[in-house]
A and B are shown apart, each in its own frame.
Chain A
């Protein structure tokens, strides 16, 4: 059988691809097969890149919050934002299982961060926001934040 492409050499590579029930047979010689890759391992392992129809409905998991995709994570080993931990939860946990002794945080809690009360924390946070607003010369916002700080401080003193 002659090669479908060059029509000169004998076809030694034979493939049958079934795309949504439509069967296509391809017969190529060694040279044409090299230059006309039917599929790559990368495509096989990463369905999002696959040209095959049976993956047409595949939607790559993507973080709604920052737009980071599963491929981005696999490529860089990094996540795009805190929400990505929810989007890629099962994959992250699988990889964490290999390196971490347990999947539950037992160290310092966020609430242990300070001995301050909630309203004192709120004041601290507003003070940082106030500085930011002043730096950006957004004096309208700065004045609003200042009012909130005064109100919280007064409430604390009552």
Chain B
């Protein structure tokens, strides 16, 4: 059940180079020196593809953003920024983002410890050839003081329709805040929660070890997981008919509509995903719904169609694509 609720885990470490102005206060030459130094250090670590953002087309950057491999800040800095991506797309190292280096690892399910170990090894290798900005008292120095110390952000992405539909989101946010953690939408700072997806992460970075932070986020995610299971049970006990109707209506629209926007498709697919999780609808393969959720954005639809479609054409293509995948998947 956990894997249906905890969608993925992410670890991020922020690092800066000693004796170099931070990215927000740099000039073109210094920024390019940072990019070159970090890329050189990364080229010693195998299995990374290195990209300078200015050499990438906007739709490629957009797709990387949707896949959480880069941030919108990296795109904003595209004249000086770059990214190194591992062959399996689980690790990305952004260069000249808010900090000179942002090392991040994404793994499916609840896997924070493993993700931290992977990033820690890479950090160790980078630290062997680069001089990081560091202070004995404050730890690793970052452009924003809210990241100083460990430079660590540990996040888990959670699918929480039960907590949402039982109107318990605010209560969850309050409880999580009291542990020093925060709740955000799926795409990080400033983003809203769509498709019942929430990101739970640490707010502090100083005064605790990396292991303590990872442990705290992981144990909180497990507690939220228990609450989500209870909320789903409550929904089934009290509102089964209503919920079944909602799920089957969502399935009906997705199977038969002529055109559909990204946001409507996300909302309806999330309902079908919940329905499949709690057996209100039987699907041959539940993972197709999660896969569809990742592949219906405008950028992904354009890529799939191999054309630059207009908005209307895209909505029609999306409807046809979802219908084709989902219709053959139901067991009656």
Asked, given contacts A113-B124, A113-B127, whether A78 binds B206 with beta carbons under 8 Å apart, the answer is: no
Whether the Cβ atoms of B208 and A79 lie closer than 8 Å is no
Count contacts between A and B, CB distance < 8 Å: 126
Whether the Cβ atoms of B204 and A108 lie closer than 8 Å is no
Whether the Cβ atoms of B206 and A66 lie closer than 8 Å is no
Whether the Cβ atoms of A80 and B22 lie closer than 8 Å is yes
| A window 17-56: CB within 8 A of B | none
Whether the Cβ atoms of B134 and A99 lie closer than 8 Å is no
Question: Who on chain A is nearest to B180 by CB?
Answer: A101
Asked, given contacts A78-B24, A79-B145, A124-B128, whether A100 binds B123 with beta carbons under 8 Å apart, the answer is: no
| B window 97-135: CB within 8 A of A | 98, 120, 123-125, 127-135
**Chain A residues with CB below 8 A from B36, complex form:** 132, 135
| B window 134-160: CB within 8 A of A | 134-141, 143-146, 148-150, 152
Name the segment of B13-21, B63-71, B167-175, B228-236 touching the other chain. B13-21
**B3 is an interface residue with CB less than 8 A from chain A:** no
| B-contact 0/1 string along A88-120, CB 8 Å cutoff | 000010011001111111111010011010000
Whether the Cβ atoms of A80 and B130 lie closer than 8 Å is no
Distance of A134 from chain B, by nearest CB (Å): 10
Cα–Cα, bound, A76→B132 (Å): 23
**Chain A residues with CB below 8 A from B205, complex form:** 100
Cα–Cα, bound, A37→B148 (Å): 41
**Chain B residues with CB below 8 A from A116, complex form:** 128
Whether the Cβ atoms of A102 and B128 lie closer than 8 Å is no
Whether the Cβ atoms of A96 and B22 lie closer than 8 Å is no
Cα–Cα, bound, A96→B145 (Å): 7
**B210 is an interface residue with CB less than 8 A from chain A:** yes
**Chain B residues with CB below 8 A from A135, complex form:** 36, 40
Cα–Cα, bound, A101→B129 (Å): 32
Identify which of B33, B125, B133 contacts A82 (C-beta below 8 A).
B133
Interface centre among B125, B127, B131 (most CB of A within 10 A): B127
Whether the Cβ atoms of A81 and B25 lie closer than 8 Å is yes
Asked, given contacts A80-B22, A82-B141, A85-B141, whether A121 binds B128 with beta carbons under 8 Å apart, the answer is: yes
Cα–Cα, bound, A114→B33 (Å): 24
**Chain A residues with CB below 8 A from B192, complex form:** none
Identify which of A77, A95, A99 contacts B204 (C-beta below 8 A).
A99
**Chain B residues with CB below 8 A from A128, complex form:** 37, 40-41, 129-130
Whether the Cβ atoms of B139 and A107 lie closer than 8 Å is yes
Distance of A105 from chain B, by nearest CB (Å): 3
Question: Who on chain B is nearest to A80 by CB?
Answer: B25
Whether the Cβ atoms of B41 and A80 lie closer than 8 Å is no
Question: Who on chain A is nearest to B144 by CB?
Answer: A78
Question: Who on chain B is nearest to A113 by CB?
Answer: B127
Whether the Cβ atoms of A113 and B123 lie closer than 8 Å is yes
**B203 is an interface residue with CB less than 8 A from chain A:** yes
**B287 is an interface residue with CB less than 8 A from chain A:** no
Distance of A123 from chain B, by nearest CB (Å): 9
Interface residues of A (CB under 8 A from B): 66-68, 72, 76-82, 85, 92, 95-96, 99-108, 110, 113-114, 116, 121, 124-125, 127-128, 131-132, 135
For the complex of A and B, the 5 pairs showing the least CB-CB separation, nearest first, are: A105-B139, A102-B207, A113-B127, A80-B25, A82-B133
Q: What are some 21 contacts across the A-B interface (CB < 8 A)?
A: A79-B145, A80-B22, A82-B19, A82-B22, A85-B148, A92-B145, A102-B207, A105-B135, A105-B206, A107-B208, A107-B209, A108-B120, A110-B134, A110-B140, A113-B124, A113-B128, A114-B125, A128-B40, A128-B130, A132-B33, A132-B36
Interface residues of B (CB under 8 A from A): 16, 18-22, 24-25, 33, 36-37, 40-41, 43-44, 98, 120, 123-125, 127-141, 143-146, 148-150, 152, 180, 203-210
Can you name 11 extra interface pairs (CB under 8 A) apart from A79-B144, A99-B204, A102-B207?
Answer: A78-B24, A78-B25, A81-B20, A105-B150, A108-B210, A110-B134, A110-B140, A114-B127, A125-B131, A128-B41, A131-B40
